Structure 1
């Protein structure tokens, strides 16, 4: 058995490349709060030095390789962000702090998706859906963001998935301004996708969802949408709304578009 002398052990530890928690969060597309929570739970342990958390580059690279294989990686990151009680801003890779940033990234998506074989005819519809969902997150939460302003916006063209999320007021609170009788997230989501409510902001939130529904039921696009505990999955040909109640509630809304 070989016993390493303390000085040699220290040299080995120092040779391991360590990253600060901020840099690790940026590379992993996670929030610093998430990494702290994962460390406490033992899910992704940190290296403690002088009371601070550091992360091995090797561990981060292994995580990213594993993430690249997962089919729902972007969704999992967004779902984590809208599920926790106290959140910080998402990674810069996904964070649109205002509508100007969102419009810039939406145009970038349009340029990238427009050259994909087989999407020449459908890409304007796809970006239209994304634009409606993202813009309305800003329109109906302007000046009323509960905690983190702005939206999460990520996509993987290779896997043909786009994810948007916000930690806003949610559809129920928005629609109760004009339909005070609404009592649940499920009821509010059904109204938003099926009834003409009002042309005035901010109550018009439900009308843009009917526009999104109209595109999806006529084209090869699928939508997963959750607000609070209410979940709707919509695809081509769906005329009825199959809304279910999830056990776990989220803050604001999250949408996943598959094309």
Structure 2
């Protein structure tokens, strides 16, 4: 063990995996190693503990918790870092044979949700900027979260007639509208909905006090009010 964390060999024993597996996880972005000034790879105790927990629970905890940057490789403070991690997700998904035909659509869905977080909160982050973005290839889950303004507050800038969180989610997923006036774009979440309805993908998307659940072949959007209040947006994509 180094002053900063565990060596590659120690980490392999700690997680009960081979060193080759750790190298693959590092390359794919599933569990990135850090590098010392001397170029040696190591893993921090914090990252290992986070890795062993549920990614959606971690994302939820960050949105609901105190205003501090998550101590994790899954935190993307900038759009460029998000895009870099998105490339690692694509590299991991393209190796799964059963996703060969539509893994690019999964990446596109994640890209739309993540880019929305940065685009609609640019210069207006309430506290911590950036997003939490993690994926678990074994569980086939992707979690994205931000501590931004939320869908209702964003859309009311251009649609002040929207009354509540449920209506805001319905508008966001079914109408062409942008929360960045005076832009006319706004197909992002409509595209997400279209992909989910056509493919074997499930989506849970929460914002403020409402949640939308979408699965393949569902007849209508399932939007409901929830007791938990999320300051920004939280999404779980299962495939």
TM over 0.5: yes
Q: Tell me the secondary structure at the aligned position of residue 105 of structure 1.
A: helix
- What is the aligned residue count? 196
For residues 123 and 94 of structure 2, what CA distance do their matches in structure 1 show? 34
DSSP 3-state at the match of 1:247: strand
Q: 2:144 aligns with which of 164, 183, 187?
A: 164
Inter-CA distance 178–199: structure 2 relative to 1 (3 Å threshold): closer
Match of 2:49 among 3, 19, 28: 28
Residue in structure 2 matched with residue 222 of structure 1 by the alignment? 202
The answer as to 2:64 corresponding to 1:83 is yes
1:144 aligns with 2:165: no
* Shift, 1:187, TM fit: 1.1
CA 1:25/1:87 → structure 2, altered by over 3 Å: closer, same or farther? farther
**For 1:243, which of 217, 223, 231 is the aligned residue?**
223
User: Which blocks of at least 5 consecutive residues in structure 2 are unaligned?
Assistant: 1-43
Change (3 A) 1:248 1:202: farther
Work out whether residues 174 and 205 of structure 1, in 8 Å CA contact, stay in contact via their aligned partners in 2: no
Distance 1:97 1:221, change over 3 A: same
Which one of the candidate residues 213, 217, 231 is aligned to 2:211?
231
Give 2:72's aligned residue.
92
Matched with 2:89 is 109
The structure having more radius of gyration, on CA atoms, is: 1
C-alpha offsets along residues 71-100 of structure 1, whole Å, 9 cap, x if unaligned?
Answer: xx100010011112x221112321001011
CA distance in 2, matches of 1:254, 1:91: 18
- Pick from 182, 190, 201 the counterpart of residue 162 of structure 2: 182
Moved over 4 A (4+): 198-206
Displacement of 1:183: 2.0
Mark the runs of 5 or more structure 1 residues left unpaired by the alignment: 1-22, 31-63, 68-72
Match of 2:55, SS state, is helix
TM-score by length of 2: 0.77
Shift of 1:151: 0.3
Residue 42 of structure 1 corresponds to which residue in structure 2? none
